[in-house]
Structure 1
Amino acid sequence: MTRVRIAQKAQKYINHDMISLHTDLPEFPEGRVSLLYNVLSHQPAAAAQKELLSLVTSLVQMGLDTHEMVDNEPLGKHGMMAMRAQQLKVLAGDYFSSRFYNLLSQAGQIDMIRRISEAVCEINRIKMSLYAKMSQLKLGAEEYLHYGAELKSGLFLSFGGLMTGLYERIWPELVDKFSRCEVLLAELRRLQKTSSLDGSWGMWHILQEGTEDDRRAVRERRDEPGLMASLLQKYDVADKLCSLLRQSTGQLQGVMQRLQSDKLLRELQPLIEPFVQAASAQRAAVLKELG
C-alpha cells in the first residue's frame, strides 16, 4: 500500500454522502500518515500491521480535525443550513473516530486502542490549555508553534512503543520536527486568506514584538477588515515564517540523516519536498518585492 493507497482506502470511510453534501472536511493528513507508514515498514514487529495502523490513525486524525472545524458560536446564529453543517461536523468527527475502534478490535489490536485513546485524551488536554491562553491573549509566537506541533504529533507519538533501538529513540523528535514544518507551512498558506488571519502566528508575533499602539490595535480591532493584513505586512510576517520553515526543514533533515538507512531516506525525501519548495517560493517572492 503506497501513501496514495492509504488515502484511497480511507476515502471508503470518509466519503459519506450526507457529510459530503452538507459540510466541508479538513485536509487529509497525508504527510504524517505517510511518515508513519514508511517508518513502520522498517520495524519487523510492526511491518505486517503498517497498513491497518496507518489507516486507523488517519481516521482518528480526521475525526479530531473535523471537530476542530466546529464553530463555537450558537448553532442558530447563522441560519438552518449553517446549523446543519455544524451538527454534521460533530457527527462526522464522531463517525471517523468510531471506525478506528471497530477496525482495531476486529484485528485484535486492543493495546493499540488503549494507546491511541490515551493519545486522544492528551491531545484534548493540550487543546484546553491552548484555548485558555488564546482566549486571554496570553500566548507567545513560539509557544503557538509548540502547541501546534504537539497537537499534530500527539497521535503519532503513540507508535513509539512499536519501534526498537535507534528508531524508538529518534521517532519522537522526527514526528515533532515534521509536525512543526506542517504548522509553519499551514501558516504561510494562511496568509493568502485574509479571513483567517485572526489567531494566526502573525497575530501572536505582533502581540509579542509589536509597538504598544499595534498591540492595542490587535487586541481591540483585530476583526476590522484589512487591519491584520496590513500589520502582517508591516512586520514582515511572511519572511519570518519563511525563515522559520527553512530552519525547521533543515533540522528535520538532520534528524532523518540519523536514521542510517539510505532506503528509508529515499522514501521520506518526497514528504519534505513541500516544505523545501514553499520556503524557496516564499523567499523568491519576498526578494522580488524588495528588488
Structure 2
Amino acid sequence: MNSYRIPEIAKQYTEYDMIQIHTDLPEFPEMRTRLLYAFLNEYSKLRASSELFTLAASLVQLGLDTHDMVTVTNDVKEKKAARSRQLKVLAGDYFSSRFYNLLAGAGQIEMIKQLSGAICEVNRVKMNVYTKMKQLKLTAEDYLHHMVEIKSQLFLSFSEILTEAHGHAWPQIMRSYARCEQLLEEIFRSESIANFKGSWGFWHILQHGAKDERKQLQQDQLDPAKVRTLLNKHQITSQLVELLRVQTEQFHAAVKLLASDKLISELFHISEPFQRITGKQPKVLEEI
C-alpha cells in the first residue's frame, strides 16, 4: 500500500465513546509516524509490512503519551476528574497492548522484541530526566537532548531493518527530525504562560538568568506577569526559532544524502511545518 493512511486506521482503536466522553487523549504522533512510513515504504522488502509496522509504533507511542498525561497523585476526588484519570491509565494500557496483538498476529516476534526494548529505554530516560528536573539539575541543552531521545526511541527500533536500504541514515535523520519537532513544541510553549514551567525557556533562564530571576523560577507558584517579562527579556521565542532554523537546515542536509529522489522529496514536504515557522524555503524543495 503506497498511500499514507495510518491516522485513519488508528481511529478504530482510539475513537471509543467511553474515552471521547470522559477523557482527552494526546495528539496522534503524526509527524514521526509519517517519517517512519516514508522510509519503510521506500524499501521494497519492507513495503508489505510498512503499514503494520508504522501503525504498531504509533499505537505504542500514543500509549506512552497517554500515560504521561496521568497526574502523579490521585488527590482529586471529584468523580469526573477521577474517571478521566482512570481512563487515561486504561487507554494507555490498551494502546500499548494493541501493538503486541497486531505484530503477534502477523508473526513479527522480532519486532515485538525491538519495540518492547525501546519502551524500557524510554521509561529509563524519563526516570532519569524527571529526577534531574526535580533536583533542578538540567541545562536547556540537556533537557532538549533528553526530550529528543524520548521522542526517538520507539522509532529507532527500526534502525536494524532499515540499514540494508538506507545505511545508517535513519538514526541520524530520525533524531534530527525529532529535535525539530521538539523545538517547534517549545516555540508554542514559549507563547503560553501556563506551559512555561519545565519548558526549554524555563531551563534556559534557570541556567543563564540573574540570581533573582532564578529564585523566581524556583517558587511553587509563578507570577504570570513576571514570567512574561522574563520570556521577553531573554528572547526565548526568537532563540527557539533560530535553533529550529539551524536544525531544519541540518535535517535537510542529511536528507539530501539519501539515494532516492522520491524519498528526498517526501521528507522535504514532511518538514514543511518547520519551514513555515522559520520562514526559510530550501532550494532543493523549490526545485522538486
TM-score (norm 1): 0.92
Q: Do structure 1's residue 136 and structure 2's residue 149 form an aligned pair?
A: no
SS of alignment partner, residue 98 of structure 1? helix
Residue 42 of structure 1: CA displacement?
A: 2.1
SS of alignment partner, residue 192 of structure 1? coil
Aligned to 2:10: 10
Could you tell me how far apart the structure 1 residues matched to 2:242 and 2:266 are?
26
Aligned to 1:61: 61
CA RMSD after TM alignment: 1.5
Residue 226 of structure 1: CA displacement?
A: 2.9
Overall identity of the aligned pairs, in %: 47
Structure 1, gaps ≥5 residues long: 282-291
How many residues align? The count is 280
Report the residue type matching 2:119 in the other structure.
V
Could you tell me how far apart the structure 2 residues matched to 1:244 and 1:3 are?
33
1:148-198: per-residue Cα shift (whole Å, max 9, x none)? 110000000000111234613111100000000000000111123221111
The 1:222–1:173 alpha-carbon spacing in structure 2 relative to 1, beyond 3 Å, is farther
SS of alignment partner, residue 198 of structure 2? coil
Structure 2, gaps ≥5 residues long: 281-288
Q: Do structure 1's residue 79 and structure 2's residue 117 form an aligned pair?
A: no
Report the residue type matching 1:29 in the other structure.
P
Could you tell me how far apart the structure 1 residues matched to 2:227 and 2:109 are?
48
Contact in 1 for aligned 2:163/2:170 (Cα 8 Å) = no
User: Structure 1 residue runs of 4+, over 3 Å off?
Assistant: 1-4
The 1:65–1:22 alpha-carbon spacing in structure 2 relative to 1, beyond 3 Å, is same
Could you tell me how far apart the structure 1 residues matched to 2:236 and 2:64 are?
28
Aligned to 1:260: 259
Contact in 1 for aligned 2:4/2:37 (Cα 8 Å) = no
Could you tell me how far apart the structure 2 residues matched to 1:3 and 1:82 are?
39
Aligned to 2:286: none
Aligned to 1:102: 101
Residue 280 of structure 1: CA displacement?
A: 2.5
Could you tell me how far apart the structure 2 residues matched to 1:3 and 1:206 are?
44
**Which one is further off, 224-233 or 127-136?**
224-233
Contact in 2 for aligned 1:198/1:228 (Cα 8 Å) = no
Could you tell me how far apart the structure 1 residues matched to 2:69 and 2:76 are?
16
Aligned to 2:214: 215
Correspondence 1:172-187 to 2 at 5 A: 172-187=171-186
Could you tell me how far apart the structure 2 residues matched to 1:2 and 1:78 are?
48
Aligned to 1:127: 126
TM-score (norm 2): 0.93
1:224-282: per-residue Cα shift (whole Å, max 9, x none)? 3333222111110000000000010001001101112211111112210001111239x
Aligned to 2:29: 29
Could you tell me how far apart the structure 2 residues matched to 1:135 and 1:41 are?
42
1:42-81: per-residue Cα shift (whole Å, max 9, x none)? 22331210010011111000001001111113x2326221
